Amino acid sequence: MTGRTTALLALSSASVVLASGCGGDRVDRRDLESKVSDFILRQTGTTATVHCPKDVDPDKGHKTTCIADLSGTPTNLQIVFTSKGRFQVHVDTSHLG
């Protein structure tokens, strides 16, 4: 298994994160990127650069896609807000075979 595959599998198995800095009408993009990056580091031991869109709505059920650079490969992460300040990170691992 490659480092990227191991990181993706670790992310897909542990997906709930508390985003204490998220709240209000919109999520601060840099705060979300930082929290997702910290989550990846805690789950995988891998440092990742994360890019998320601006003006994300943090209300329950809203989704957005962030891009993480995992082991040199851009990887789409779907962020799903489960309640104010909480979100799940989902990774599509179907291409791993």
Write out pLDDT tens, residues 25-83.
Answer: 788 899 999 999 998 898 888 899 999 999 888 888 999 999 999 878 888 999 998 88
Measure the CA–CA gap between 55 and 41, rounded to whole angstroms: 25
Within 8 A by CB and 6+ apart from 31, the residues are 19, 21, 22
Please tell me the pTM assigned to this model: 0.75
Beta strand extents in the chain (DSSP E only): 16-18, 49-51, 63-70, 73-83, 86-91
Three-state DSSP at 36 gives: helix
